[in-house]
């Protein structure tokens, strides 16, 4: 009565869901053979992984709201974050614009790639995260010491708790961010906590978060990862210093302190003036102008004084780590070329494992499988699906 619809038992399907999310399909096939003695084809294994992930959306949609009530809503802050990571896809699985670019591209040389040419085309997997932190107020000196060589004692930043991850290569950023907001709402349905968003500066992500928050009537401050800002400063530093010059370190440190103090636009003006006074030509000052433009256009998302005073995080380490763990560690295995259904299934299974929900999910999945496979057979004739 509980047999699945197919040739493979539920126990073998469970092993397939675990092993195929952990490593390559070849390694998963070998692990299953060692554990059970069952020889299974790689294509069959891919299909089992796909079938195992079909209830991802329904599982997370049906979870009840937490019953606990915060004694002090200000004691916890809810953080939303998102990012993208490319996956090498088979030609038919690329998004339409990327596929057109791939079809139009021609390699100039037969034996190697020229500048700007790509061997493989990627499709962006959108990754989203929701987690909670207990605010830890800090100052700029806790982020950067008073001098570039200082060893001042610092206050450790807030620690992420109750982390939840999701990822999709078939859905666009709008759908993934909507799902992230849904999870945040499930955790805090009355919106008693402070919600904030952390991003790496991508305009599309900022736009989608802003629209989603506005549609739900929420005030969600957006912060850009401070590490990304420092990387822009380093690019600008090489316009004024030779490569490897120790003085560049002090230059970056000085301007980073100013940005932490809330003076991003002043730093942008200072960089432009320095490039002009040094009489740099357009090509030499390109990185400096790019950095100045970035600081000016993103200044509203660089309010680090407010964030540090309120005890919020100012770096996107959680979502950066999720992109590496969920996507890169599995999807970027040497030689891997993904079809859309297979890539989506593996991302879903890896998210379930990362959220420590696999046992609960598998119990729910078996219930849904029983409902799909067996219940229609014993339903009254009038209610059976046609």
Residues β-bridged to residue 166 = 128
Residues 158 and 267 in one domain: no
> pLDDT tens for residues 359-379?
999 999 999 998 888 877 777
What does the pLDDT read at residue 384? 55
What does the pLDDT read at residue 93? 78
Residues 216 and 335 in one domain: yes
Residues 295 and 162 in one domain: no
Residues 125 and 265 in one domain: no
**Residue 26 covered by a domain:** no
Residues 133 and 83 in one domain: yes
Residue whose structure tokens are 């073998």: 12
> pLDDT tens for residues 135-194?
999 999 899 877 655 566 677 889 999 999 999 999 999 999 999 999 999 999 999 999
**Residue 340 covered by a domain:** yes
Nearest to 331 by CA among 21, 106, 11, 7: 21
Mean pLDDT across 114-121: 64
Rounded CA-CA distance 96/216 in Å is 31
Two tokens, residue 149: 């060589």
Residues 142 and 203 in one domain: yes
Residues 185 and 243 in one domain: no
Residues 185 and 330 in one domain: yes
Mean pLDDT across 298-320: 96
Residue 139, judged by CB atoms within 10 A of its CB (0-12, 13-18, 19+), counts as middle
**Residue 169 covered by a domain:** yes
Mean pLDDT across 66-71: 61
Q: Are 288 and 239 in contact (CB under 8 A)?
A: yes
Mean pLDDT across 289-294: 97
Q: Which of 259, 274, 299 is the last residue of a domain?
A: 299
Q: Supply the range of the domain harboring residue 123.
A: 73-101+118-221+316-354
Residues 87 and 177 in one domain: yes
3-state secondary structure of 219: coil
Q: Into how many domains does the chain fold?
A: 2
Percent of the chain scored above 90 by pLDDT?
71
**Residue 282 covered by a domain:** yes
DSSP string for residues in 143-187:
HS-SSTT-----------EEEEEEEESSS-HHHHHHHHHHHHHHH
Model confidence at 1, pLDDT cuts 50, 70, 90, reads: low
Rounded CA-CA distance 351/42 in Å is 22
Name every residue whose Cβ is closer than 8 Å to that of residue 174 and which is 6 or more positions away in sequence: 208, 211, 212
Mean pLDDT across 255-272: 96
Above 60 in pLDDT, residue 261? yes
3-state secondary structure of 223: strand
**Residue 283 covered by a domain:** yes
What does the pLDDT read at residue 72? 61
Residues 125 and 149 in one domain: yes
What global pTM score does this model have?
0.88
Q: Where are the beta strands (DSSP E) in 200-347?
A: 222-224
Residues 210 and 234 in one domain: no
**Residue 30 covered by a domain:** no
Kindly list the distances between the CA atom of residue 94 and the CA atoms of 97, 267, 298, in Å, as whole numbers in the listed order: 8, 40, 31
Above 80 in pLDDT, residue 294? yes
Rounded CA-CA distance 205/225 in Å is 13
Model confidence at 119, pLDDT cuts 50, 70, 90, reads: low
**Residue 151 covered by a domain:** yes
Nearest to 292 by CA among 340, 232, 360, 333: 232
**Residue 278 covered by a domain:** yes
Residues 133 and 170 in one domain: yes
């Amino acid at each position: 009565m509980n047999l699945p619809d197919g040739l493979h038992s539920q126990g073998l399907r469970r092993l397939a869901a675990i092993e195929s999310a952990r490593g390559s399909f070849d390694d998963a096939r070998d692990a299953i053979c060692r554990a059970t003695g069952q020889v299974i084809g790689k294509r069959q294994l891919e299909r089992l992984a796909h079938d195992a992930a079909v209830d991802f959306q329904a599982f997370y949609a049906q979870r009840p709201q937490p019953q606990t009530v915060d004694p002090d809503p200000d004691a916890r802050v809810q953080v939303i974050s998102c990012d993208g990571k490319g996956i090498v896809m088979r030609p038919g699985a690329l998004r339409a614009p990327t596929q057109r670019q791939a079809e139009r591209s021609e390699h100039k040389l037969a034996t190697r790639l020229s500048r700007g040419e790509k061997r493989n085309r990627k499709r962006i997997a959108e990754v989203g995260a929701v987690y909670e932190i207990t605010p830890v107020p800090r100052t700029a000196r806790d982020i950067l010491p008073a001098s570039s060589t200082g060893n001042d004692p610092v206050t450790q930043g807030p620690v992420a708790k109750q982390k939840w991850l999701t990822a999709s290569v078939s859905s666009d950023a709008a759908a993934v961010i909507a799902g992230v907001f849904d999870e945040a709402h499930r955790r805090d349905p009355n919106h008693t906590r402070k919600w904030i968003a952390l991003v790496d500066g991508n305009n599309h992500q900022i736009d989608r978060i802003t629209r989603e928050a506005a549609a739900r009537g929420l005030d969600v401050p957006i912060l850009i990862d401070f590490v990304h800002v420092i990387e822009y400063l380093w690019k600008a530093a090489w316009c004024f210093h030779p490569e490897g010059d120790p003085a560049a370190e002090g230059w970056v440190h000085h301007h980073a302190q100013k940005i932490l103090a809330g003076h991003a636009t002043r730093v942008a003006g200072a960089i432009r003036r320095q490039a002009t006074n040094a009489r740099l030509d357009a090509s030499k000052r390109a990185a400096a102008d790019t950095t100045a433009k970035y600081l000016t256009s993103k200044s509203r998302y660089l309010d680090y004084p407010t964030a540090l005073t309120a005890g919020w995080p100012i770096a996107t380490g959680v979502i950066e780590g999720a992109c590496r763990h969920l996507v890169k560690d599995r999807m970027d295995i040497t030689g891997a070329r993904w079809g859309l259904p297979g890539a989506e299934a593996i991302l879903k299974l890896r998210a379930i494992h990362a959220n420590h929900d696999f046992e609960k999910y598998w119990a729910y999945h078996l219930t849904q499988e029983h409902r799909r496979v067996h219940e229609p057979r014993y339903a009254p004739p009038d209610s059976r699906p046609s």
